[in-house]
Chains A and B, each alone.
Chain A
Amino acid sequence: DQQVKQNSPSLSVQEGRISILNCDYTNSMFDYFLWYKKYPAEGPTFLISISSIKDKNEDGRFTVFLNKSAKHLSLHIVPSQPGDSAVYFCAASNNNAGNMLTFGGGTRLMVKP
């Protein structure tokens, strides 16, 4: 069973607008969440993370929101730029279980000029 799900395989957004990528999880033991970005022929690059004790974390154009009761997190990119076009993976970990990352299936973001 998939413990981390990204239900939108792809998302297309106009340059300058907001991109919202969503992620749902089922395991209530997860206590740390991360977003990675992946370009073709490269490994995933860490983008931003959030601990379960927070509900928001912001870093420049990127903001992650966590709704623990709904087991849902989202990544907001404002404003979106063509260079943001990539596959975005949501990942979750449990600090008491060795910090292995459980990934969602990814969302391909296309930012159109």
Chain B
Amino acid sequence: ETGVTQSPTHLIKTRGQQVTLRCSSQSGHNTVSWYQQALGQGPQFIFQYYREEENGRGNFPPRFSGLQFPNYSSELNVNALELDDSALYLCASSLAGRNIQYFGAGTRLSVL
């Protein structure tokens, strides 16, 4: 059974640029959620995708957007990067309606 994998592991961007982060779900999982973890804080929910549609969203602006593909993999896109977007971005997969989510190792994004 393959776990949740994320790429890249690290990324450095400058303010104003755009970034795409990728996630492959754990085998058999059809729901993907994205979280942002700032240094010293707990993860914060960005949004969730199910059946290729956004299924819930946290308190993040529209420049944070996502996609889910038919194979359940997912992308997180962030436009017009700001310094405060520097964080660890975590992807988690689960079965629809199930509470337990399984996390990838994350992508560390630094915005300079």
Contacts and interface: CB of A to CB of B under 8 A. Distances in A.
Contact of B33 (A34, A89, A101): A101
Given A44-B43, A89-B42, A97 B100 contact: no
For this complex, into which size category does the number of interface residues on chain A fall?
20 to 34
Given A42-B105, A43-B90, A34 B100 contact: yes
Contacts of A105: 40-42
A49 B101 CA distance: 11
Nearest to B99: A32
B105 A49 contact: no
Contact of B100 (A6, A46, A98, A104): A46
A89 B43 contact: yes
Contact of B99 (A4, A49, A89, A104): A49
B90 A44 contact: yes
A100 B105 CA distance: 19
Nearest to A98: B56
A111 B83 CA distance: 35
Contacts of A93: 99
B94 interface: yes
A43 B106 CA distance: 6
For this complex, into which size category does the number of interface residues on chain B fall?
20 to 34
Contacts of B92: 43, 101
Interface string A40-56: 01111110010000000
Interface string B64-107: 00000000000000000000000000101010011111111110
Of B43, B45, B100, which is in contact with the most chain A CB atoms at under 10 Å from its CB?
Answer: B43
Given A100-B45, A101-B45, A102-B45, A43 B100 contact: no
Contacts of A41: 105
Contacts of B106: 43
A90 to B, nearest CB: 8
B55 interface: yes
B99 A103 contact: no
